[in-house]
Structure 1
């Protein structure tokens, strides 16, 4: 069911949601959180589709905030709220409200969104593009327990990591980090099987790929080693080689679908390591609402050593505590990375 509301208010939208749920015989009891998507018209369709698919795992109220302040002084002075309410099969397993904020109202999005939040339920805010410099201090970000950005959408994705490090607050995360969860899980499991000291590592991936940089930073910070960053044709991350005295532990994925895991003294194994859709990434992030301290350590570590893409980039050794934004360059080696979240 879809219902269009023109020049409306938050209270009218709430009343429409109640009437629509009664009409189709559903309730809000099964919804576990409110997902606020801050987007524009061009990105709204893809973002809403991803959120709707993710709601099959996490039934939620989805609020898409589309700001349309207008260009002329007259347009900016005419505040108006238009909404599209979707319930039932048109909104996955939850319900969706598309909010179009016109004129001066575009600068007061939090006042429109606040009355529409599910009571006593967590709030997650996602910026598919054009994320604020400091998500925690954004008016909508202050309403949320979890704030999701995506460095890939930035004009300079790798340099965007420095912005994320400088403004990090508990509850922040980035989809560039979420994309490397399978890589981190596979590499940690490999070192659980092969108890050897890693002397150094090499990470290969596309130029200006923030996920490649984060994986290199994570390895350097957790293992206290030097990690060389090499540019490949892609797609995404293509290989990780951890160098040990017994030989290389190598996870090689040249096609973005299937990877080969090679370990000294063991036969090669093929493992599924496909590049995931945005809906899968959002679903993963909605599984946890507590601060991701491993992400915080990785994104803060060595961020001042990130430069524009080149054919080879080296990540310096990790500092003792990985919490300070300015790292030192000396640290001792450890045996293996900590457990990653699944």
Structure 2
């Protein structure tokens, strides 16, 4: 069910949500957090779809702020989505115009669930300083996505400069499987030190830099990236050791091949992670990701290429 509320206020929206629950039980209780999505009209539906999917694992209230292009008088159009139109959650879409565009914090405050954590997500261009953003200041976790930004390495450097505990980025979440497979391979004999690391992938993909930074920092060795045009995500990782290199290759974005000296070649299903999978993973934890913080603020400086 979709309820349009043109020229309204957030207090009126909140009262309508309460009435829906009291009258028909349309909105279930038991939400574990409030997810605030700060986006634009072009990215709104994709972001809501990903959040709806994640809400099946993490029941939450989703509040979307998508300012309109109108800069005239202050106004607010809202929309409530419940039931089948909101997955396992309730979705409130706010479209402020005029001067209300600059007051996102006061817009969302009446809609925040009491005594529940707040997560802010920017599915598009990341703010200069997520923790300094009006909504970011209220949030326990702040999720950006450097993949969706222009100038991805510059975005990572800027996020590192302003990093605060609670910040994370979906470019980091996209390498969870890579990190797990590499760690498992290194946990098997022979236990030789890695002397250098090479990470190959799409020229403009920030996950390439983050994986190289993580490996270089964890293994205390030089880390280099090789940038390739016409591919998606990370395509190959090589860990050089005296007795032979470990290589994990995924050229097609679907199946990975793990090659280790003296062992049979292994083929592993490893499709590119979806936005829904990454968002759902980040909503599983509300404590600061200290490893990501160290990689972002200290590890990237050691990556060459």
Quote the RMSD (CA, aligned, Å).
1.4
Provide the residue aligned with 2:271 in structure 1. 274
For the pair 1:221 / 2:188, whether they are aligned, the reply is no
For the pair 1:255 / 2:252, whether they are aligned, the reply is yes
| Runs of 4+ residues deviating >6 angstroms | none
Could you tell me how far apart the structure 2 residues matched to 1:122 and 1:114 are? 13
Could you tell me how far apart the structure 2 residues matched to 1:53 and 1:23 are? 26
Provide the residue aligned with 1:283 in structure 2. 280
Structure 2 residue corresponding to 1:186, chosen from 181, 186, 201: 181
Q: How far apart are 1:231 and its partner, in Å?
A: 1.9
- Residues 197-241 of structure 1, C-alpha deviations (whole Å, 9 max, x = no match): 111111110112110010001111111101121123422100101
Q: Secondary structure at the match of 1:67?
A: coil
Could you tell me how far apart the structure 2 residues matched to 1:228 and 1:27 are? 51
Q: Secondary structure at the match of 2:134?
A: coil
Residues 214 and 299 in structure 2, CA contact (< 8 A), matched pair in contact too? no
Provide the residue aligned with 2:239 in structure 1. 242
Provide the residue aligned with 1:176 in structure 2. 171
Long gaps (5+) in structure 1: 307-312, 315-342
Residues 84 and 98 in structure 1, CA contact (< 8 A), matched pair in contact too? yes
- Residues 278-302 of structure 1, C-alpha deviations (whole Å, 9 max, x = no match): 1111000000011101101111125
**Alignment TM-score, normalising by the size of structure 2:** 0.96
Could you tell me how far apart the structure 2 residues matched to 1:149 and 1:173 are? 6
Number of matched residues?
Answer: 303
Could you tell me how far apart the structure 2 residues matched to 1:186 and 1:302 are? 20
Could you tell me how far apart the structure 1 residues matched to 2:21 and 2:188 are? 52
Residues 21 and 87 in structure 1, CA contact (< 8 A), matched pair in contact too? no
Provide the residue aligned with 2:30 in structure 1. 30
Structure 2 residue corresponding to 1:137, chosen from 129, 132, 136: 132
Q: Secondary structure at the match of 2:103?
A: helix
For the pair 1:68 / 2:64, whether they are aligned, the reply is no
Could you tell me how far apart the structure 1 residues matched to 2:11 and 2:232 are? 47
Q: How far apart are 1:304 and its partner, in Å?
A: 4.5
Q: How far apart are 1:130 and its partner, in Å?
A: 2.2
- Residues 301-340 of structure 1, C-alpha deviations (whole Å, 9 max, x = no match): 254567xxxxxx44xxxxxxxxxxxxxxxxxxxxxxxxxx
The 1:285/1:108 distance shift into structure 2, 3 A limit, reads same
Moved more, 24-33 or 127-136: 24-33
Q: Secondary structure at the match of 1:213?
A: helix
Q: Secondary structure at the match of 1:247?
A: coil
Structure 1 residue corresponding to 2:119, chosen from 105, 115, 124: 124
Q: How far apart are 1:21 and its partner, in Å?
A: 2.5
Residues 35 and 60 in structure 1, CA contact (< 8 A), matched pair in contact too? yes
Long gaps (5+) in structure 2: none
For the pair 1:90 / 2:85, whether they are aligned, the reply is yes
Alignment map for 1:323-342 (pairs within 5 Å): none
Residues 36 and 65 in structure 1, CA contact (< 8 A), matched pair in contact too? yes
Provide the residue aligned with 1:299 in structure 2. 296
Provide the residue aligned with 1:160 in structure 2. 155
Could you tell me how far apart the structure 1 residues matched to 2:28 and 2:137 are? 24
Residues 69 and 106 in structure 1, CA contact (< 8 A), matched pair in contact too? no
Provide the residue aligned with 2:95 in structure 1. 100
Could you tell me how far apart the structure 2 residues matched to 1:256 and 1:297 are? 28
**Alignment TM-score, normalising by the size of structure 1:** 0.86
